[in-house]
Each structure stands twice: as structure tokens, then as C-alpha cells.
Amino acid sequence: MKPAAETRIRVRYAETDQMGVVYYANYLVWMEVGRVEFCKACGFNYRDMEDADGVRMAVAEASCRYASPARFDDEVVIKTWIENANPRMVTFAYEMSAAEDGRRLASGHTRHILVDREFRRTRLPAKYFSMFGLAAPSELV
């Protein structure tokens, strides 16, 4: 497995449905939490990439496979890593598990295209290449 970051969250009552389990769409929110924390673990703040460099990662695809339910007050571990990246697109992978017993709750991925402030496709600035596991621009020639 590639380098990963772990984030822990505790299930809030508002995240559960009438059956007492976490509502399925909340797993996508948790993926976003994991992605932002992964960026911080790699040495940059995603907000700074947007503000200073004008680069955004627009979600082009999202997938989540559910394995076991989480319930109110469970602690959840979100493991996040980059599955695939190139200068124009990045795919993050996620595994969510119960902290108590390691039981897999869900796994998934999000694929992002890089866009500028006007939402036109763009390239990842070279200063982020190593953080995304990419070769330096001079090595691509």
C-alpha cells in the first residue's frame, strides 16, 4: 500500500438514519475529511493550494462500497492515500474501519481533475509533484 494518512472521527447522532446506522452519504463526507487531512500530512494545506496557486481538485467520480454499519458514538478510522496521480488528475483511495475492532465499514475512491479558478482544466504546479508521488518535471522529459 502507498503512504497513507489516518484520521479519526466519532459518529455523531445526526449522522445516523432511522435504522440507527450511519446514513450512506456521510461516508463521502468522511472521505473529504480524510483527503484534507492527507494533504496536511503531506505538508500542504489544500486551502492554500486553492488560494495561492489557484488550483482546485474537482470531483469527477466517487465510489463507496459498504461492508458493515457504523453507529452513533463509534470511533471511525479513515485511512486515505493516493492511488494514482498524474499532473492533470489524482485518485484518492479510502478505507474506513471501526477503531474498536478493526472491522471494515466501507472503502472507496474519488477521482479529481485539476482545474483553475475559472474551472478550466489545468496542471498541478511542480512544487506539489513530490507530495502527490510524481516525478519532478525535469524527470518527465
- Give the separation between CA 131 and CA 141, rounded to whole angstroms: 20
pLDDT tens per residue, the chain (141 residues)? Answer: 467 999 999 999 999 999 999 999 999 999 999 999 999 999 899 999 999 999 999 999 999 999 999 999 999 999 999 999 999 999 999 999 999 999 999 999 999 999 999 999 999 999 999 999 898 776 554
Predicted confidence at residue 1, as pLDDT, reads 47
**Angle subtended at Cα 122 by Cα 121 and Cα 124, rounded to the nearest 5 degrees:** 140
Cell of 114: 485539476
Active site residue 17: yes
DSSP three-state, residue 122: coil
Predicted confidence at residue 135, as pLDDT, reads 85
- Give the separation between CA 32 and CA 9, rounded to whole angstroms: 12
Which of 17, 48, 51, 116 is the catalytic position?
17
- Name residue, grid cell 472491522: 103
Predicted confidence at residue 136, as pLDDT, reads 78
- Give the separation between CA 88 and CA 85, rounded to whole angstroms: 8
Predicted confidence at residue 116, as pLDDT, reads 97
- Give the separation between CA 41 and CA 58, rounded to whole angstroms: 20
- Sign of the dihedral defined by the CA atoms of residues 98, 99, 101, 103, in that order: positive
Predicted confidence at residue 78, as pLDDT, reads 98
4-134 topology per CATH: Thiol Ester Dehydrase; Chain A (3.10.129)
Domain boundaries, the chain: 4-134
Predicted confidence at residue 3, as pLDDT, reads 76
Beta strands 104-115; 89-98: pairing state: antiparallel
